[in-house]
Amino acid sequence: MANEAHPCPCDIGHRIEYGGLGHEVQVEHIKAYLTKSPVDAGKAVVVIQDIFGWQLPNTRYMADMIAGNGYTTIVPDFFVGQEPWDPSGDWSTFPEWLKTRNARKIDKEFDAVLKYLKQQCQAKRIGVVGFCWGGIAVHHLMLKYPELRAGVSVYGIIKDAEDVYSLKNPTLFIFAENDAVIPLEQVSLLTQKLKEHCKVEYQIKTFSGQTHGFVHRKREDCSPEDKPYIDEARRNLLEWLNKYV
């Protein structure tokens, strides 16, 4: 689910077994998974979940990977206690389920997370990374929060809205060529519109042969052909954060 206008099922892919390096904390009215950086550099990254929720081990794995590169990371529960999507659920009920989980209506929670990072973690420079549903959220936040130094939206896109191209700060969009959720025409339109309207740095990368969820939901060893693309996308994500945060 990463196309706001045409919500579509996404497969959970490989749910990895992973315990995590961080711990859970309470941030005002929501829970979150927090991993402190081994180096205290005053930098933090908010990692935003996909439809499978803030407790998905794969998302926590990505947060810990980012933390290992010098950032305090936090994965908040942006569903605010509501159940994540069940992979065995009836997809015909998905649009109804989604109505109470709008990726563009998270500002109250995001404000609480920003306050927590600044006051409790002494974060001075903050970026944001999101996957699928969280990719839509990143696109939204990068239009609204000039204090975010950088954003990485991984297979998430806001569509059918005219006010979504004036990004406030550098944003990287990562897409998959064979994404059943986001057709390449949407990526082309985003590319064209950003060219016309965007006044900050941005980059759009489409990875050939890959499918929705490849960056955070595939095992690195699942296919020798896929591994270089997964590695490159993760490297690009980190390089973008390192350059701008």
**Any idea which residues carry the catalytic annotation?**
132, 179, 212
Alpha-carbon distance of 16 to 242, in angstroms, equals 26
Enter the DSSP assignment of 133.
Answer: H
Q: Is 213 helix (H, G, I), strand (E, B) or coil?
A: coil
Of residues 133, 163, 148, the one with CA closest to residue 7? 133
Host H or E run for residue 94: helix 94-99
- Sign of the alpha-carbon torsion through 20, 26, 31, 32: negative
Rounded Cα distance, 238 and 210, in Å: 19
> Dihedral sign, CA of 73, 77, 78, 80?
negative
Query: Which SS3 state, helix, strand or coil, does residue 21 take?
Result: coil
Quick one: angle between helices 57-67 and 227-244, nearest 10?
Answer: 50
Environment class of 174 (CB within 10 Å of its CB; exposed 0-12, middle 13-18, buried 19+):
buried
